Structure 1
Amino acid sequence: MSTIPVQPPRCVLLDCVRTATEAPSLHNSQPWRFRPRGAMVDVYADPGRRLRVLDPSGREQLISVGAAVFTLRLAIRRAGYRSDVNIFPEPAEPDLAARVTLAHAAAPSTAVRALAAAIGRRHTNRWPFAETPVAADILDALRAAARRERAVLAVAHPAGREAILRLARSADRWLRDRPGRREELARWTAGGTRHDGVPRWAAGLRDENDAIPTRDFAESSSEPRRSAPFEPYPTILVLATAGDRWPDWIRAGQALQRVLLTATWKGLATTPISQPLEVPWARRMLLDPATGLSVQMVLRVGYGGKTDATRRRPIAEVLLPGPHTSAMVPAG
């Protein structure tokens, strides 16, 4: 698609980048960097923030970066501009995941404003959900959101749901014994004044019935982890793409974030269940190979209580140097 770039005020572009950092990421690792250049923003994966034990291929890191790319696109759209995205635009720079170029000005629609308003309210919820079924029209909206980003979202039927949760529990147990896992988890268990990682207050509860596996971010704490019964029949969604290469992972991240924000807009709480995707044998069992699809994320959705936002790194920490960067970063 041809684009006639339009350069917005620096403060507008900076605000869009700051909004993009509110995207979800594995263990809240925030593995992205941004380089604004005139009417463009280059989005990079930060290799130093990849989880080498859970994510040796970098798949989940690129999904996280893709989520930030979508959030940046949405923030730009809310600011009154359209944009184009070029995934992996420079073969010689493999960490440059996407280039977002601002196009012509255009007033945001009501739907864009509603979706963008969900950015600050979208938080991973690791607590029990209500036993209320998710309405069919909302599930249809989530499927449509995935399709908008060239992905497929399926709702697991009862037998499939139980099979997925059994697989997730097996994968969770397998991961617990991986060399280096405890150290990696400890690195991303936030405390004090850190601006990344998962703080203990956000770790949630353990399912008293051990049906839904949740990460134990309080594992290193001396206090026992609290538990409660979770909903017995959770709504489980499976997000898949037609390919399984780097560009597909970026697209999966964009689809994931559109789905998550749509769910938040519609009043749903969400929890990623990524353990079966971090174990090769478990991931292969999530879909029939005859579909030709690759599963990229499993989600639990439902009606849950309010959760707070985890902290984000200051904008100065995620900006890469460039011709306009120093002028964009506030002093002090």
Structure 2
Amino acid sequence: MHTTALLRAARDARLAPSILNSQPWRWRTGGSALELHADPARQLPHIDPHGRLMTISCGAALHHARVALSAAGHEPVVDRMPDPGRPTLLARITIGPARPPTSESLAAYDSMRRRRTERRPFAADARVPAEALTRVRAAAEAERAHLYVLDSPDVEYLRYAAQGAHTITAHDTLAAAELRQWTHRDNAADGVPPATVVPDAPRPVPVRDFGLGAEAELPPGSGDDSGAEYLVVATSGDEPADWLGAGEATSAAWLTATTEGLGASPMSEVVEIPGARVLVRTLLPTREQPQLVLRVGVPPACGPPPSPRRPATGVVTEG
């Protein structure tokens, strides 16, 4: 029975967000345990040379699996980084005592299935309610990370960080080629499809240029992002265990935002470039390590299309 529940959780966890929708994880069941492995073959060596974003992505998948188990009435028991001799083994999940699902766990599971990456600009006349931001922050901080909401002066510095990151990336031919590889996929099971990308438009803080130009198919709408909030996911350390926790916190924040009727998209480019990351670090009230920025706002009534997902047979291994 536990094996069936763990397999179902691994399949549900395929819905987790990841850097360029690379889905850099593998799941393996063995007896009464489910193992989460990073998949180095799916690491982006030029954009993410240290594997930070790959591990954050895996952390989001880990949190998704936990949500699925909780919604099914199971207590997930997680052993993170269980074997120093196997660095790709990031977590091992077993099932604890039965626990009836709560309204919160059911809502999180529903949001897990509805969550999308919202790249369209958010409208100026629809502000994010303060109570919703409080709940999003609490969800992240229940994991092993902190979430900081940037105020207006800090958003200006975030703009400088994003502009600098984009300028450097534009002159990095290897990173540009890697980006193109993941936005022009023959295999529709991963990567960033044009249907989920909006054409370039003026915003207070520029977002990643996916290099699609006229190929970007998602109409941007009438928003200008002046109603957006920018949230920094940060950790006290900067080791793989911290990156994994940042991914779990990102997932928790994003699912809560979805439950609150908010849209979100990650801004990983401001942590990919060392200089930009240093600038973002100066915006934090403590000497913590920024791992990701989430852009959050009130989305258009009609959500964006979903990104593709790899079939379970290529992600989940039994035995």
- Distance in 1, matches of 2:218 and 2:197, equals 9
Q: What whole-Å deviation, never above 9, does each CA across 1:263-294 have from its counterpart, x for those lacking one?
A: 00000000111111001111112123872211
Aligned residues of 2:195 and 2:305 also touching (Cα < 8 A): no
Which amino acid in structure 1 is aligned with residue 260 of structure 2?
Answer: K
Q: Distance in 2 between matches of 1:292 and 1:224?
A: 40
Q: Which runs of 5+ in 1 are unaligned?
A: 1-6, 324-332
Give the % identical residues. Answer: 36
Q: Secondary structure at the match of 2:28?
A: strand
Match runs of 1:282-297 below 5 Å = 282-288=276-282, 291-297=286-292
Query: Quick one: which amino acid aligns to residue 2 of structure 2?
Result: P
Residue number in structure 2 paired with 1:32: 25
- State TM-score, norm by structure 2: 0.93
1:273 aligns with 2:294: no
Tell me, in whole angstroms, the C-alpha distance in 1 between the residues paired with 2:71 and 2:174: 42
The Cα of 1:162 is off from its aligned counterpart by: 1.2
Asked if structure 2 preserves the Cα contact closer than 8 Å seen for 1:206 and 1:225, the reply is: no
| Aligned length, in residue pairs | 314
Structure 2 unpaired stretches of 5+? none
Indicate the residue corresponding to 2:89 in structure 1.
96
Alignment-mate amino acid for residue 236 of structure 1: Y
List structure 1 segments (4+ residues) > 4 angstroms apart after TM superposition.
190-193, 220-229
Question: In structure 1, what is the Cα distance between the partners aligned to 2:64 and 2:146?
Answer: 19
Using the TM superposition, give the Cα deviation of residue 216 of structure 1 relative to its aligned residue in structure 2, in angstroms: 2.9
Deviation at 1:98, TM superposition (A): 0.8
| Corresponding position of 1:13 | 6
Task: Provide TM-score, normalisation by structure 1.
Answer: 0.89
Equivalence map 1:122-271=2 (5 Å): 122-131=115-124, 132-191=126-185, 193-207=187-201, 209-219=202-212, 230-271=224-265
Instruction: Choose 309-318 or 170-179, whichever is displaced more.
Output: 170-179
- Given residue 297 of structure 2, which amino acid in structure 1 is its aligned partner? G
Residue 328 of structure 1 corresponds to none
Give the aligned residue type for 1:263: A
Contact 2:132 2:260 in 1 (8 A): yes
Contact 2:136 2:253 survives alignment (8 Å): yes
CA contact (8 A) 1:126 1:205 kept: no
Alpha-carbon distance, 1:213 to partner: 2.1
Cα distance in 2 for partners of 1:150, 1:222 equals 39
Is 2:109 aligned against 1:116? Answer: yes
CA RMSD in angstroms comes to 2.0
Work out the CA distance in 2 between the residues paired with 1:44 and 1:33.
5
Q: In 2 relative to 1, CA 167–205 (structure 1 residues): closer, same or farther, beyond 3 Å?
A: same
Is the aligned partner of 1:314 residue 2:307?
A: no
